[in-house]
Amino acid sequence: MTKAPETVDPHVFVLFGATGDLCRRKLLPAVFRLTQKGHLRNRHVVLGVARDDGMDERSFRSFARQALEDAGFSDSELDTWCDACLFYQPIQGDGGDDDYTSLKARIEEIEAKREMPGNRAYYLAVPPKVFPIVIDGLGRHGLNESPGWTRLIIEKPFGHDLESAKKLNATVHEWFSEEQIYRIDHYLGKETVQNLLVFRFANQVIESQWNRSAIENVQITVAEDIGVGTRAGYYDGVGALRDMLQNHLTQVLTLVAMEVPAAYDARSIRNEKIKVLRSIRKIDKSEVVFGQYAAGEIGGKQVAGYLDEDNVPDGSRTETFVAARLHIDNWRWQDVPFYVRTGKRLAERLTEIIITFRKPPVQFFKSMELDGDVRRDQLVITLQPDEGFALHVDVKHPATDQDLAKVPLSFRYEEAFGKLADAYVTLLLDVLTGDQTLFVHAEEVEESWTLFEPLLDGTIEAVPYASGGWGPTESEKLIEDDAGRWRV
Amino acid sequence: MTKAPETVDPHVFVLFGATGDLCRRKLLPAVFRLTQKGHLRNRHVVLGVARDDGMDERSFRSFARQALEDAGFSDSELDTWCDACLFYQPIQGDGGDDDYTSLKARIEEIEAKREMPGNRAYYLAVPPKVFPIVIDGLGRHGLNESPGWTRLIIEKPFGHDLESAKKLNATVHEWFSEEQIYRIDHYLGKETVQNLLVFRFANQVIESQWNRSAIENVQITVAEDIGVGTRAGYYDGVGALRDMLQNHLTQVLTLVAMEVPAAYDARSIRNEKIKVLRSIRKIDKSEVVFGQYAAGEIGGKQVAGYLDEDNVPDGSRTETFVAARLHIDNWRWQDVPFYVRTGKRLAERLTEIIITFRKPPVQFFKSMELDGDVRRDQLVITLQPDEGFALHVDVKHPATDQDLAKVPLSFRYEEAFGKLADAYVTLLLDVLTGDQTLFVHAEEVEESWTLFEPLLDGTIEAVPYASGGWGPTESEKLIEDDAGRWRV
């Protein structure tokens, strides 16, 4: 069933923020996973870059080795790999010329020594305010081009409003072409998200139903059960809309709603995603609900409200929950509401896309569960915690003459294929093989901000909701107006 | 989840052929199951009728009691029930007046004693040559009507060609109206067969695909792994077409193909089934394959050919396998071939309906299993051995960039709801509650014979096929001509 793994060109992978949390937890394990899977059989080098705090190459290798062990690797070649492939370059991090002159020299030295063709990937695992400094530094010192390919990977958040996003795009585009840029949204690396398009376009039975004739509404829920934790310093003033809705949920929505692309490649797919964003009707504030979690109970434990969390300023109006009804004004989706919601301290950790199909035009049968009311068929696509999907359909209940029972026709990825790779493994491989399909285009970023920024003018009040539920009752109301309801 | 069981009117259930195999294995257990499930809480009586061979009421009760024990019942009320509800009436069986005069007296006596309103069901579990004798006997003695309802249940086979079927219908209609007649096809009592309509009409996602735009072909396979066994005396000269295709497979086919009825009732549904039969194009003999099993191996055991079975005459040309390609000339199914096949001594015991959907108009992806060829999505409905269905669709294989893996979205009745009732339990309850939906209408019988009789003129040669396979290669050819293939 498996074929030979795709082999990546020899390259230097330059990791900015190499000693940070994302590198430790996700990026270093992802790179090592790719070596194990045989994708990096060619020569490759990871060059860690971080602000100088006394770490040297030796201690970076120990740091990386520990990170890999923590990630569950116990490969006997771990030491060999760390010694052969890991390098470290401390910088001042002030954007000064010295940093990039010495970085350039280091890269060229490694490439010369290893006889590498000059392929370079720069991964910016650094705080957003550092993005422009690094990009500018790379550009001004000619590190935006090389004898081979040069690619730039940028973590979220990509701007905090339309203006900042445009400004960041401008900085990036000053030195890099869009074809070199990989804006990460790790949701897109999830198997189930990728499968969304495959499932639609590989199955005529599915794609032929994927429209307003067959579908009554679409729901996208990204629910967290945790609160802001120790991240209030970052989170307060950012909130659920910027942190989740503007990027993750919107990306998922564009994949659900997009037309069949001209070809299955990055350019065609991103083009269709941008079209979706442009077709979304200007959001009416009356169709948006902001919430902020109050105290409550989750899993039998009392938890504090947002305002009582550490480092949250008194009277903060930051929303920890947002729900909205969106309308896509195109031929495929007119009159099919898209409900999106995300929040912290909800009843469970759950990310789902729910396609609710229309009921049959004539109802011959009664549903046993609902006293004769017919619950619609639904396709429930689960991104978390158990990737897969289930088509919930009616069958005849055997105990009765012709009453219905709703049953799930279910598929679970790990049940069928074993443990899935982390999203970063997928996304890194795509970067290294030059596939931009699962990365966010500049225009997507700007269109998304254009859509959501008007909601951030402070006029929408975040209503309190009890921790451990499903957010404010106003969110239920939003969907009940259309005679629907959230699945959970 | 369960509701109060439907209660049947007080009645006398007159069982012709009461000491026979069908009564012992199926009918008596089915009646007792209905009492256990609470459907027969009202007064009911089973009056066994059989040709006099010395059995009396007492020995009939012992016979019945043993039958119920053999069927797995160990209910403490078994004796009570046998004594209170089972009666026996021997007859001469020659159609003489005495038989029916005394039967009438006996029924009236029981009804009077039990204060019953005169509801009567006559079940003809007798050889086909006896059907007219009993029907005529009942009619001539006024047993075709009563103060309550009177119903007549007829087992298969209903005629052996068009003329005999018409003649039998005429005999029946001389005394009984069509509303009184329940022609049994036990396939229709299977949960999955009933679910076929419920699944279609309760789920807009299914019914909206149930047509020539979405479906490429339909296959119906009824495969037996056993040979003719001890039944050659009956089977030889009858063959697979009469024994299986003309009734069971054709019934299943009409349910698959029928239009949405005006209402979900017997009259509307049977009307639509008749319409399907009338729309089937006259069968071209070049689209029919007859086969006769030769020796071979099944489950590691050598088995004899049909001609070497006990009681099969030398040189018999009886077909033990038939496959055909049918065409339904209506708006829903034009150009969608329906492949049907049934046979003895095939590789396994299996009854399946397979709906093969069209491939997507554009193929973005490769299938891992088939070297790039795309296997169509299929809905596989299993009637035997494990009732349920599975929708086979493509998902993205996680080990790859965008290759497909076919996975089943599966539903199994017993897994979901526990052990299913025998088809006879379902059908008997329908008889006793007056629901004709799952019984065959006179016109269905005649239309089916009209369709198939021309194939029985002896011009189609039964080609030998090895036991343990899937019949003659000509059967494969039939479907390969359309670039398709049998699922198994």
- Render pLDDT for A470-481 as a digit per residue (tens, 0 to 9): 999 999 999 987
Residue A255 domain-assigned (yes or no): yes
**pLDDT for res A2:** 45
Query: Residues B266, B143: one domain?
Result: no
> In total, how many domains does chain B have?
2
Q: Which residues contact B371 (CB under 8 A, 6 or more apart)?
A: none
Question: What is the value of ipTM here, to two decimals?
Answer: 0.93
Which residue in B203, B209, B401 is closest to A205 by CB distance? B209
Say if B480 is an interface residue toward chain A (CB within 8 Å): no
How far B394 CA lies from chain A's nearest CA (Å)?
6
- Say whether A394 and B360 touch across the interface (CB within 8 A): no
Residue A485 domain-assigned (yes or no): no
Phi, psi of A181 (to 5 degrees): -105, 130
Nearest CA in chain A to B405: A1
Contact map slice: B 187-206 vs A, CB within 8 A: 191, 194-195, 198-199, 201-206
- Say whether B364 and A263 touch across the interface (CB within 8 A): yes
Task: Report d(CA B401, CA A6) in Å as an integer.
Answer: 9
- Say whether B421 and A398 touch across the interface (CB within 8 A): yes
Q: Which pairs with CB-CB distance under 8 Å and at least 24 residues apart come from B386-392?
A: B386/B412, B386/B414, B387/B190, B387/B191, B387/B192, B387/B412, B387/B413, B387/B414, B387/B420, B388/B192, B388/B412, B388/B413, B388/B414, B388/B415, B389/B192, B389/B195, B389/B199, B390/A409, B391/A205, B391/A391, B391/A409
Task: Report d(CA A337, CA A216) in Å as an integer.
Answer: 8
How far B181 CA lies from chain A's nearest CA (Å)?
20
Query: Residues B116, B200: one domain?
Result: no
Residue A167 domain-assigned (yes or no): no
Residue B333 domain-assigned (yes or no): yes
Query: Residues A290, A359: one domain?
Result: yes
- Chain B residue numbers touching A266 (CB-CB < 8 A): none
A-B contacts (CB, under 8 Å): 170
Which residue in B1, B214, B396 is closest to A198 by CB distance? B396
Which residue in A206, A264, A368 is closest to B1 by CB distance? A368
CATH of the domain at A48: 3.40.50.720
pLDDT band at A1 (very low <50, low <70, confident <90, very high): very low
Domain that holds residue A200: 188-480
Residue B180 domain-assigned (yes or no): no
Query: Residues B243, B147: one domain?
Result: no
Mutate to test the interface with B, among A192, A201, A205 (most CBs of B within 10 A): A205
Which residue in A207, A360, A421 is closest to B201 by CB distance? A360
Mean pLDDT score, A51-64: 94
Task: Report d(CA A163, CA A231) in Å as an integer.
Answer: 25
Predicted confidence (pLDDT) per residue in A194-242, tens digit: 999 999 999 999 999 999 999 999 999 999 999 999 999 999 999 999 9
Task: Report d(CA B136, CA B142) in Å as an integer.
Answer: 10
Query: Residues A294, A241: one domain?
Result: yes
Say if A442 is an interface residue toward chain B (CB within 8 Å): no
pLDDT band at B76 (very low <50, low <70, confident <90, very high): confident
CATH of the domain at A264: 3.30.360.10
Q: What is the mean pLDDT of chain A?
A: 94
Query: Residues A228, A139: one domain?
Result: no
**Helix/strand/coil for A256:** helix
Say if A395 is an interface residue toward chain B (CB within 8 Å): yes
**pLDDT for res A402:** 77
How far B274 CA lies from chain A's nearest CA (Å)?
20
Helices and strands (H, E) in chain B, number of each type: 17, 16
Nearest CA in chain B to A359: B204
Residue B215 domain-assigned (yes or no): yes
Query: Residues B259, B127: one domain?
Result: no
Q: Do A337 and A326 touch, CB atoms closer than 8 A?
A: yes
Helices and strands (H, E) in chain A, number of each type: 17, 16
Query: Residues B385, B303: one domain?
Result: yes
Residue A369 scores a pLDDT above 90? no
Query: Residues A353, A475: one domain?
Result: yes
Predicted confidence (pLDDT) per residue in B133-192, tens digit: 999 999 999 999 999 999 999 999 999 999 999 999 999 999 999 999 999 999 999 999
Q: Could you tell me which residues are beta bridge partners of residue A289?
A: A323
Mutate to test the interface with B, among A37, A198, A215 (most CBs of B within 10 A): A198
